[in-house]
Amino acid sequence: MEAQAIEDMFSVAVAASAEGRLEDAIAAFQAVLVMSPGHDEALFGLGLALMQTRRFSEAVEPLARAAAAPDAEPIRHQCLAQAQFLTGDFAGAAATFAAVDVVEPVPEGARLTWARAAAYAVLDGSSAQEALDLYARIAGPGAEAPETVARESFGILVAFQRLDAARALGAWLEAHDPADTVRAHELRVLVEPGIDKAPAAYVEALFDGFAERFDHQLVDMLGYEAPALLAELVASHRQQFDRILDLGCGTGLAGPHLKRFGGRLIGVDLSSGMLAKAAERGGYYALVQDEAVAFLESHPGAFDLIVSADVLIYFGELGPLFSAAAAALPTGGLLAVSTELGQDGWTLLPSARYAHGDAYVRASASGFRILERQEIPLRREGADVTVGCLYLLERI
């Protein structure tokens, strides 16, 4: 009777999983495991469903137990290794890949993850060059160029707070490509936390290089929704504006959400690559390449609504930006911004972005009254979700 119930529930879980109903699948696999705690196929199914819903940390334990079953297929070990990698356990991932490779060679795609895991794991005790050589040995014929590996790995290691390892790779990159403005700033950030604003040349180069992938990366991969949420917040106070500014408009993700307010929408950004994407999307009356504060200062009283999504993360000190925004709005004009939520004051993070404490934002926003403040999940980062904050401010 019990055996039949387990089998039925397992079938429900497998069907839900096959149909992409992952939450149902997770619940059903868990129900199987309540009845039969060692059910290794349910453990594997649960681990896979958790991976697909990006709950990598939760996936490690069931996958490890599924892989520990007698005669477990190599794929179970490979999935466990992927989960270990995605939670920043690089040494664990490298060991899991190495152990399963003896049983059945790790396929080419997964081999690159293994090679990276092994390289990251040795970076604490070895030089960047030794780590990259190890990467090349494990990756074999499919190995990516060392510059590509080093560049991508730098960001991954920063996201996982492996800052010594990131510094070592950053120094290697600087020696190999001293003209790379983006990497030079990102490395500088790791040693000079007092820099109070992202340099314009860095922002421009970073986003020119990112423009093509930005929407996919932010929206599909990182679950970024700040533009829509800011527009909602504004709409809960007022529905009509004649002159709207999307400050740091990027690829124009906010454009469709700001359309509802009716007025003329102007987008400003430092990056021509991002502006070209915003032009493709359409909906803007004009798109201007300029620095945010400089643009605001040269447009006194020119807007009724200024929206700035995920741009204050490139400013440490907020005073100059708020003063310039106050000057660009008439009394009663609205400013809607998002921040990455920090502790006290402003903090330059290893990611080269800034986080701001709530008290600091309030103290910096002279000339404004805060109408609304809302905490939101801003974007996924590594295995975590970064908390953001929306502010709706009225010019007084």
Ligand X SMILES: C[S@@+](CC[C@H](N)C(=O)[O-])C[C@H]1O[C@@H](n2cnc3c(N)ncnc32)[C@H](O)[C@@H]1O
| DSSP class of 265 | E
Is 203 a binding residue for ligand X by CB under 6 A? The answer is: yes
**Whole-angstrom Cα distance, residue 135 to residue 144?**
9
122 to 161: interface string for ligand X, x by CB under 6 A:
----------------------------------------
207 near ligand X, judged by CB under 6 A: yes
* CB 318, min distance to ligand X, A: 12
Going residue by residue from 322 to 361, which x/- string records binding to ligand X, judged by CB under 6 A?
Answer: ----------------------------------------
User: Strand order in 384-395's β-sheet?
Assistant: 286-289, 262-269, 241-247, 305-308, 334-340, 384-395, 368-381
- Give the one residue of 166, 270, 287, 365 binding ligand X; rule: CB under 6 A: 270
Question: C-alpha angle 311/195/318, rounded to 5°?
Answer: 40
Q: What number of chain residues touch ligand X (CB under 6 A)?
A: 19
Residue 227 found at the interface with ligand X (CB under 6 A):
yes
Task: Find out whether 42 and 8 touch, Cβ atoms under 8 Å.
Answer: no
Q: Specify which residues 394 forms β-bridges with.
A: 334, 369
Is 386 one of the binding residues for ligand X (CB under 6 A)? no
Stretch of residues binding ligand X (CB under 6 A), selected from 48-56, 105-113, 135-143, 243-251:
243-251
The answer to whether 310 contacts ligand X (rule: CB under 6 A) is yes
Which region among 150-158, 161-169, 248-256, 328-336 touches ligand X (by CB under 6 A)? 248-256
Question: Cβ neighbours of residue 83 under 8 Å, at least 6 residues apart?
Answer: 47, 51, 56, 59, 60, 63
Stretch that binds ligand X, among 148-156, 161-169, 179-187, 305-313 (CB under 6 A): 305-313
For ligand X, the closer CB: 45 or 250:
250
- Under rule CB under 6 A, residue 274 binds ligand X: yes
Kindly state the smallest distance separating residue 208's Cβ from ligand X, in Å: 8
Q: How many CB atoms lie within 10 A of CB 228?
A: 15
Would you say 118 or 307 has its CB closer to ligand X?
Answer: 307
Q: Quick check: 119 and 135 in contact, CB under 8 A?
A: yes
Q: Which of 81, 226, 355, 361 binds ligand X (CB under 6 A)?
A: 226
What is d(CA 365, CA 329) in angstroms, rounded to the nearest whole number? Answer: 13
Beta-carbon contacts of 23 under 8 Å, excluding residues fewer than 6 positions away, are 53
Q: In whole angstroms, how close is the CB of 45 to ligand X at the nearest point? A: 36
Is there binding between residue 306 and ligand X (CB under 6 A)?
A: no
Do residues 135 and 149 lie in contact, with contact meaning Cβ atoms separated by under 8 Å?
yes
Backbone angles phi, psi at 184, to 5 degrees: -60, -45
Q: Which residues bind ligand X (CB under 6 A)?
A: 203, 207, 226-227, 248-250, 253-254, 269-271, 274, 291-292, 309-311, 314
